[in-house]
């Protein structure tokens, strides 16, 4: 059948009708909010390249997490920025490091919020790379032990899940074995399984002070030209024990997200990264697009492509709209 018997516009004539037949529904429960935590007290420091996003000291982080939970956002991710960095990234796995301190404080104050610390070394190393550097090269196998120590430290401090983002080969298995040995066999791993060497991480590196001091991360993060390789990476992480898999970034890699969704039945996350966030913010500030519509369209596109979980700096603003409120 065709026009005039079929008129596709019939089901688009009103908002309630459009809502009734919508194929994709974005909810607050889909959102995970990334946050930056620093040493000190009373600190709420704006990040210029990420308007609306701040670095928090632990005391102010607790206040912010209460506000996040009040919006119905189920989960947060912590990125720690230590006062001191060194070649081995010791702050990442110290029991009294910035992330364990944040986990303990937020767990006490907001017990129902899911706490998902990122597991990596880049914020903690003085060279800015995600692992141990030997002769200007990131040593894969030597890094695994440190990542496992970090994941275990976070588990002991109250994490509900850990999320390794380093892209070292074998790190999921190393973390799984360490968690199990420490009695945390119940703790899930959300693996950054297909993480690309992307230009869209720039604002994050400003926020986390984690830009590499030499070279780049293309020897361990994925080549943006490759798609089939992402399926291999995901399959390997699942084999090693990943419970949730992630594609990062989101918007330039919706095709990868869709291919992973079709190939695997694990819960799937996508990271709407800092550069994606900053572009919409900058364009909206210039009056070039409608901020809220662009934000919700981007997040809905990520959900439509197959994501079950969306890590996004828009989480609070999106939650207000999804809850029926106005900003």
Mean pLDDT computed over 155-178: 97
Q: Is 22 helix (H, G, I), strand (E, B) or coil?
A: coil
pLDDT of residue 276: 98
Q: Which stretch of DSSP H or E encloses residue 140?
A: helix 140-157
Question: Has residue 155 got a pLDDT over 80?
Answer: yes
Looking at the chain, how many residues does it have?
A: 327
Task: Name the nearest CA neighbour of 83 among 71, 68, 94.
Answer: 94
**What is the C-alpha separation between 139 and 130, in angstroms, rounded?**
10
* Chain-centre distance for alpha carbon 315: 11
Please give the mean pLDDT across all residues of the chain.
Answer: 96
The dihedral through the CA atoms of 138, 144, 149, 154 has a sign that is: positive
In this structure, are residues 120 and 130 in contact, taking their beta carbons and an 8 Å threshold? yes
The helix-helix angle for 274-285 and 291-304 (nearest 10°) equals: 150
Question: Has residue 50 got a pLDDT over 70?
Answer: yes
Q: Where residue 326 falls among pLDDT bands split at 50, 70, 90?
A: low
Alpha carbon separation from 153 to 95, 99, 219 (Å, rounded) = 6, 9, 27
Q: Nearest 5°: phi and psi at 81?
A: -125, 105
In this structure, are residues 12 and 18 in contact, taking their beta carbons and an 8 Å threshold? yes
pLDDT of residue 236: 98
pLDDT digits (tens, 9 = 90+) for 257-281: 999 999 999 999 999 999 999 999 9
**What is the C-alpha separation between 113 and 200, in angstroms, rounded?**
28
pLDDT digits (tens, 9 = 90+) for 187-199: 999 999 999 999 9
Q: Where residue 42 falls among pLDDT bands split at 50, 70, 90?
A: very high
Q: Residue 186 is encoded by which pair of tokens? A: 């119940």
pLDDT digits (tens, 9 = 90+) for 82-112: 999 999 999 999 999 999 999 999 999 999 9
Question: Has residue 156 got a pLDDT over 60?
Answer: yes
**Domains defined for the chain, CATH in brackets:** 24-322 (3.20.20.70)
Q: Which residues contact 154 (CB under 8 A, 6 or more apart)?
A: 99, 100, 103, 117, 119, 162
Q: Where residue 209 falls among pLDDT bands split at 50, 70, 90?
A: confident
**What is the C-alpha separation between 311 and 296, in angstroms, rounded?**
14
Active site amino acids: 195, 248
pLDDT of residue 216: 83
Mean pLDDT computed over 58-67: 98
In this structure, are residues 278 and 201 in contact, taking their beta carbons and an 8 Å threshold? no
pLDDT of residue 208: 82
Q: Where residue 143 falls among pLDDT bands split at 50, 70, 90?
A: very high
**What is the C-alpha separation between 232 and 228, in angstroms, rounded?**
7
Q: Where residue 215 falls among pLDDT bands split at 50, 70, 90?
A: confident
End-to-end Cα, the chain, rounded Å: 45
Question: Has residue 182 got a pLDDT over 60?
Answer: yes
Mean pLDDT computed over 124-136: 89
Percent of the chain with pLDDT over 70: 99
pLDDT of residue 115: 98
Strand blocks (E) in the chain: 31-38, 44-46, 54-57, 75-81, 114-115, 118-119, 132-134, 137-139, 163-164, 190-195, 244-248, 268-272, 309-312
Question: Has residue 327 got a pLDDT over 60?
Answer: no
Q: Which residues contact 42 (CB under 8 A, 6 or more apart)?
A: 57, 59, 60
Question: Has residue 3 got a pLDDT over 60?
Answer: yes
**What is the C-alpha separation between 53 and 60, in angstroms, rounded?**
13
Question: Has residue 240 got a pLDDT over 90?
Answer: yes
Q: Where residue 306 falls among pLDDT bands split at 50, 70, 90?
A: very high
**What is the C-alpha separation between 327 and 320, in angstroms, rounded?**
7
pLDDT of residue 212: 83
Count of CA atoms in the C-beta half-sphere (13 A) of 216: 10
Q: Where residue 128 falls among pLDDT bands split at 50, 70, 90?
A: confident
């Amino acid at each position: 059948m065709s026009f005039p018997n079929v008129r596709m516009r019939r089901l688009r004539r009103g908002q309630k009708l459009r809502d009734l037949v919508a194929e994709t529904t974005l909810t607050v429960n889909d959102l995970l909010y990334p946050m930056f935590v620093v040493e000190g007290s009373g600190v709420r420091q704006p990040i210029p390249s990420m308007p609306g996003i701040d670095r928090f000291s632990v005391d102010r982080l607790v206040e912010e997490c209460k506000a996040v939970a009040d919006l119905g956002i189920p989960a947060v991710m912590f990125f720690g920025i230590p006062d001191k960095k060194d070649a081995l990234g010791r702050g990442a796995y110290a029991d009294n490091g910035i992330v364990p301190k944040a986990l303990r404080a937020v767990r006490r104050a907001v017990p129902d919020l899911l706490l998902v610390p990122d597991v990596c070394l880049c914020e903690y190393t003085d060279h800015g790379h995600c692992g141990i550097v030997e002769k200007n090269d990131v040593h894969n196998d030597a890094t695994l032990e440190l990542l496992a120590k970090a994941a275990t430290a976070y588990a002991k401090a109250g994490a509900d899940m850990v999320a390794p983002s380093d892209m070292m080969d074998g790190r999921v298995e190393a973390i799984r074995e360490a968690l199990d040995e420490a009695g945390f066999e119940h703790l899930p791993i959300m693996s950054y399984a297909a993480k690309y060497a992307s230009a869209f991480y720039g604002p994050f590196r400003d926020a986390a002070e984690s830009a590499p001091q030499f070279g780049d991360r293309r020897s361990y993060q994925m080549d943006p030209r490759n798609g089939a390789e992402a399926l291999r990476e995901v399959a390997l992480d699942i084999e090693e024990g990943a419970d949730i898999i992630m594609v990062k970034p989101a918007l330039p890699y919706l095709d990868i997200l869709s291919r992973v969704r079709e190939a695997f039945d694990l819960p799937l996350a996508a990271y709407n990264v800092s550069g994606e966030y900053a572009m919409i913010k900058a364009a909206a500030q210039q009056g070039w697009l409608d901020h809220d519509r662009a934000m919700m369209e981007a997040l809905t596109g990520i959900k439509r492509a197959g994501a079950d979980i969306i890590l996004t700096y828009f989480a609070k603003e999106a939650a207000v709209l999804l809850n029926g409120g106005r900003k």
